[in-house]
Structure 1
Amino acid sequence: MTEAPLPDDESLTTQGYTAQENAGQILLIACGALAREILDLKTRNGWDHMALTCLPAILHVHPERITQAVEDAVAKHRDNYDRIYVVYADCGTGGLLQQACARLGVEMVKGPHCYSFFEGNEAFAAHSEDETTAFYLTDFLARQFDAFVWKPLGLDRHPELRDMYFGNYTKLVYQAQTDDPELTRRAKDCAEKMGLSFERRMTRYGDLETTLADWATRD
């Protein structure tokens, strides 16, 4: 299957991504914030039997909408694929997405959010209590910080509210999926903008990669 050209980050945020609508063995229904990582893994590993469609990443600003959007996507594509997997963690749905996936008979990525599975759920859980004042960024969020954080909070119009929103945080942890100096610079700028100290943590793809590898090789 030939993938559709990957749109820019703004399109992934507001519109999502859909590969060519060819029936196949496996469909991944994912968050638009994960499109680049999933396509990279598919290409590097030759997982041509896995198709990809992504919902708009901006759904994370309204997590109460994620579950229904995933259910609708499963219903839309179910007849065209042998298996469907959901590439979302809980993502603020309070367990509702997991309940929906169980009801629909589809498997989803384990973990509370992408920060956890990028680092590895076990590793993240081991130090999560020590990082209750950490604010996390991924590669995608380093590129789309204004769209997901600054503008939704109104800080582009009222920057004086910064400390009200971020006063309980002490540091920004940039979980780097790629070794990109430009993204590191952007993440540092985000930390400075928020008034937080900065830590870069090279996570690569973590449990996202191992989960997709498991799904790709199942009989």
Structure 2
Amino acid sequence: MLVIACGALAREILALIGQRGWDHLDLHCLPAILHNRPDRIAPAVEAAVTARRDRYDRVFVAYADCGTGGDLARSCARLGVEMIEGPHCYAFYEGVAAFEAKGEVTCFYLTDFLVRQFDAFVWEPLGLDRHPELRDMYFGNYTTLVYQAQTDDPALTDLARRHAERLGLGFEHRLTGYGELETALARA
């Protein structure tokens, strides 16, 4: 089976493949930076599926909607491939129902990937490296940075706490593990 995944999930999917012995899975990742332009996710996934599907009995898309406004789900349906349910990885790591029930509209979320890649995916693309005065405009309505940790790594937790301080936000650490990413891959 082929798994077409967001590059932000690569480390986690590879860990699951190793832990669970899923040696029947092949992983192809698309650049995580596509999240900065969600309108490009569905076409990129569609191109990747189309280019590779003839070599596999089954293809699974390891993305949630990720800001595509339903475009990714429509593409997957048209291609006849499954994808992960939910609006984004923050929801499926925590569990979509639990995430939605919390309704945390004033929280800014980071995963292990985003903690590691904070400057490249948050700080620099928003121009905060050049214009730190924009911080309050971008993050002024947030109260808390929630670090949804896939692994229990004190160094990453400390780094996430420092990111919260840079943003002027409170900090909360939640050890979510792989959440519904693992169950979705197991079902697939």
Q: Report the TM-score range of the alignment, normalised by the length of the smaller protein.
A: over 0.9
2:24 maps to 49
Percent identity (aligned): 70
Once the two structures are TM-superposed, the CA of residue 160 in structure 1 deviates from its matched residue by 1.1
Cα distance in 2, alignment partners of residues 58 and 176 from structure 1: 20
Q: How does 1:35-184 map to 2 (within 5 A)?
A: 35-128=10-103, 131-184=104-157
Cα distance in 2, alignment partners of residues 123 and 206 from structure 1: 11
Deviation per CA, 1:31-68: give whole Å up to 9, x if none.
00000110111111111111000000000011110010
Determine if the alignment matches structure 1 residue 33 to structure 2 residue 33: no
- 3-state SS of paired residue (2:29): strand
Cα distance in 2, alignment partners of residues 137 and 79 from structure 1: 36
1:6 maps to none
Once the two structures are TM-superposed, the CA of residue 120 in structure 1 deviates from its matched residue by 0.7
Once the two structures are TM-superposed, the CA of residue 126 in structure 1 deviates from its matched residue by 1.2
Once the two structures are TM-superposed, the CA of residue 98 in structure 1 deviates from its matched residue by 0.2
Cα distance in 2, alignment partners of residues 111 and 97 from structure 1: 11
- 3-state SS of paired residue (1:82): coil
Structure 1 unaligned regions, length at least 5: 1-25
Cα distance in 1, alignment partners of residues 137 and 165 from structure 2: 16
Cα distance in 2, alignment partners of residues 50 and 206 from structure 1: 19
Once the two structures are TM-superposed, the CA of residue 85 in structure 1 deviates from its matched residue by 0.5
Once the two structures are TM-superposed, the CA of residue 125 in structure 1 deviates from its matched residue by 1.2
Cα distance in 2, alignment partners of residues 165 and 48 from structure 1: 43
RMSD of aligned alpha carbons? 0.5
Cα distance in 2, alignment partners of residues 168 and 125 from structure 1: 19
- Count of residue pairs brought into register by the alignment: 188
Runs of 4+ in 1 over 2 A off after TM superposition: none
- 3-state SS of paired residue (1:75): helix
Deviation per CA, 1:163-200: give whole Å up to 9, x if none.
01100000000001000011001100110000000000
Structure 2 unaligned regions, length at least 5: none
Cα distance in 2, alignment partners of residues 186 and 94 from structure 1: 32
TM-score, L = length of structure 2? 0.99
Cα distance in 1, alignment partners of residues 134 and 3 from structure 2: 39
1:194 maps to 167
Cα distance in 1, alignment partners of residues 170 and 20 from structure 2: 37
TM-score, L = length of structure 1? 0.85
Deviation per CA, 1:56-81: give whole Å up to 9, x if none.
00000111100100000001001100
Deviation per CA, 1:14-33: give whole Å up to 9, x if none.
xxxxxxxxxxxx00000000
